[in-house]
Structure 1
Amino acid sequence: MIDDATLQRSRLFPGIRFGIHAGLQNTDPHDLQGAWRHIEALGFDWISVFDHLYSANGTGDTHCLESISMHTLLAATTRYVTCGSLVYVPSYRHPAILAKSMATIDLLSGGRVVMGLGAGWHRREFQSFGLAFLERRDRIRQLREAYDCIDALLNRRGESVTYEGKFFQLQDAHCTPAPAQQRLPIWIGGGGEQLTLRVAADSDGWNVPFVSPEVFARKKGILAGYCEEGNRSVDEIACSVNIGVAWSESDLLEQFGRNAEQISPAVLQGSTERMRDLIGSYIEAGADHINVAIRPRKGSGHQLDEFTRVAEMLELTPRRVVRG
């Protein structure tokens, strides 16, 4: 479904896909629709939602829209961009239900969905909503089972699926109707080098958020080793990174709260030249897909001009969008 022509939308960085990872906190569905239409017209290839029950900015704010609803709205609002999710948490929904949702959203979008899966980390969300926050090793095992269930349901077209795991079970389950895509891509999110990257080595794509180019390169090297163990090449896997953008120190703090200092090395800041240099460093480290994460500010939502500033920094070719 992805047109190769989209890979040339950046005049500065041809062959690299650029997207926007738009937060779901401090906003509303109508604000998001306006932002998504603007992002698509600017020439970005990808828009993704996250899967949180509270704001993921380290402030303790509880305002956040539900992700499957917004993923559906994203598919219905746009016509050209890939509609991604980074990343769904298996503990929040049974993987079979998640697979059914993704198949339906893919049909709605005309085959533009990429599904991301991750283990989950926001302890407060689990506790507030009565969900078991397992030890990290068990959450990764749960992720592995969820991946196996969802991949079978979405991508073994016409087959029934029976699965007997520790965390999830299926008995002659069918995902009908099937997705629009012959294979709906499933990405794994996270950077755990002992467990998560082993799951990612079986997937269609890997995403890691807010790490420096040096850390990204190291983790991709580890992923490549796991791929070799499975007799495949890491080049078969889309390798992506989420980075931030902040226009001032106060803006960085407003978007990312107490996480601001930790993620600062992975945030576009300062002059245009400095921002482009950081993008180039990620490309040299092996990223073929870069998402800029922009969080809506409390009381003001998404500001369209900042998407424009990022597109201009990347020298994206605007897209002529025809609305139905």
Structure 2
Amino acid sequence: MRFAIKTRPEHTTWQEIRDVWVAADDVELFESAWNWDHFYPLSGEPSGPNLEGWSMLAALAEATRRLRLGCQVTGMIYRHPAVLANMAATIDIISGGRLELGLGAGWNQQECDAYGIDLPPLKERFDRFDEGVQAIIGLLRDPVTTFEGRYVRLTEAYCEPKPVQRPHPPIVIGGRGPKRTLRAAALWAQEWHAITRSPAEWLELRSVLLERCAEVGRDPAEIACSVNVRLDDGIEAAAEEAAAYGEAGVDVVVLNLPHRAGPDLLEPLADALIRSGSAR
């Protein structure tokens, strides 16, 4: 099993986030680091500070040398897919090929209402998401892309320069919807990030993913599976939960660090994961 960290860019400062990521870059156990793609804090006062995720990734790519990095996950509703493809290619180049391209359909009504961003009904949102993923893959992979969807249209479109990772950075699709999200993961993802509360629940969702893979003719072994584990009950409890997910078959555990946690937490956390037996 592999391990990552996730920092919450709400009610905090750039320097605090940077310090944690730079320190994590020196802890070999952690293979990647993640933030989120929101414009408002998800806890506390919505008027509070929340750093924008993709701008941070560009700077954090320069500040680190080893960690893979990504947004967990990018809301497709916030940016045109062609714009996002160009952003992804650029950050993959800045990072030297370390980007993980996290994608989701989007959901935050409050942000959309405040900014005048259209949040379509669920079916249309996922129709747009499916088209957006395909358009992004084409732009990152192919010399020229033409795509004729209902919502996304590209006409002899270029995305240059191409990312370092070929054919494109790994696509990480996040969510738990059995009909649309898991089908999208089966079709296009290199990693599925599950929203789940327990290993038992994850196993149920994983069985649905296997069904979707069978439906579209995809080998499920090509799709890594990841989950979040929070540290609300302390380091040792999180390490035990990570070990339980590992026993269930999860490939990557993302440790959600406490709000404004400092770099000093990282070494004790890595030690606890090793002691739990989940780090092998």
TM-score (norm 1): 0.80
Letter in 2 for 1:220: R
Deviations 1:101-140 (Å, cap 9, x if unpaired)?
Answer: 1101111111111101001121101111101121122211
Q: CA deviation at 1:293?
A: 1.2
Q: CA deviation at 1:209?
A: 3.1
Deviations 1:239-263 (Å, cap 9, x if unpaired)?
Answer: 10112112xxxxxxxxxxxxxxxxx
Give yes or no for the alignment of 1:292 onto 2:255. yes
Q: Any idea what SS the aligned residue of 1:131 has? A: coil
Q: CA deviation at 1:310?
A: 1.6
Q: CA deviation at 1:314?
A: 1.1
Alpha carbon RMSD of aligned pairs, Å?
A: 1.7
Task: Choose which of 38, 50, 54 in structure 2 pairs with 1:68.
Answer: 54
Q: CA deviation at 1:276?
A: 3.4
Task: Say whether the 8 Å CA contact 2:229–2:241 is kept in structure 1.
Answer: no
Deviations 1:60-94 (Å, cap 9, x if unpaired)?
Answer: 45421111101111211110111122111111110
In the other structure, the counterpart of 1:283 is 246
In the other structure, the counterpart of 1:30 is 15
Aligned residues: 272
In the other structure, the counterpart of 1:197 is 182
Distance (whole Å) between structure 1 residues aligned to residue 150 and residue 110 of structure 2? 24
In the other structure, the counterpart of 1:185 is 170
Distance (whole Å) between structure 1 residues aligned to residue 27 and residue 246 of structure 2? 21
Q: CA deviation at 1:210?
A: 4.5
Task: Say whether the 8 Å CA contact 1:21–1:294 is kept in structure 2.
Answer: yes
Structure number with greater CO (CA < 8 Å, separation at least 6) is 1
In the other structure, the counterpart of 1:262 is none
Q: Which consecutive residues of structure 2, in runs of 5 or more, have no partner in the other structure?
A: 276-280
Distance (whole Å) between structure 2 residues aligned to residue 60 and residue 19 of structure 1? 27
Question: Superposed, which structure 2 residues align to 1:121-160 within 5 Å?
Answer: 121-156=107-142, 158=143, 160=144
In the other structure, the counterpart of 2:4 is 19
Distance 1:281 1:59, change over 3 A: farther
Q: Which consecutive residues of structure 1, in runs of 5 or more, have no partner in the other structure?
A: 1-15, 247-268, 317-324
Q: CA deviation at 1:315?
A: 2.6
Q: CA deviation at 1:143?
A: 1.1
Distance (whole Å) between structure 2 residues aligned to residue 150 and residue 80 of structure 1? 25
Letter in 1 for 2:242: I
Tell me which stretches of 4 or more aligned residues in structure 1 moved more than 6 Å: none
Task: Say whether the 8 Å CA contact 2:235–2:272 is kept in structure 1.
Answer: no
Distance (whole Å) between structure 2 residues aligned to residue 81 and residue 186 of structure 1? 17
Q: Any idea what SS the aligned residue of 2:150 has? A: coil
Distance (whole Å) between structure 2 residues aligned to residue 286 and residue 113 of structure 1? 24
Letter in 1 for 2:124: D
Q: Any idea what SS the aligned residue of 1:162 has? A: strand
Q: CA deviation at 1:36?
A: 0.4
TM-score (norm 2): 0.92
Q: Any idea what SS the aligned residue of 1:232 has? A: coil
Question: Superposed, which structure 2 residues align to 1:88-237 within 5 Å?
Answer: 88-156=74-142, 158=143, 160-183=144-167, 184-202=169-187, 203-237=189-223
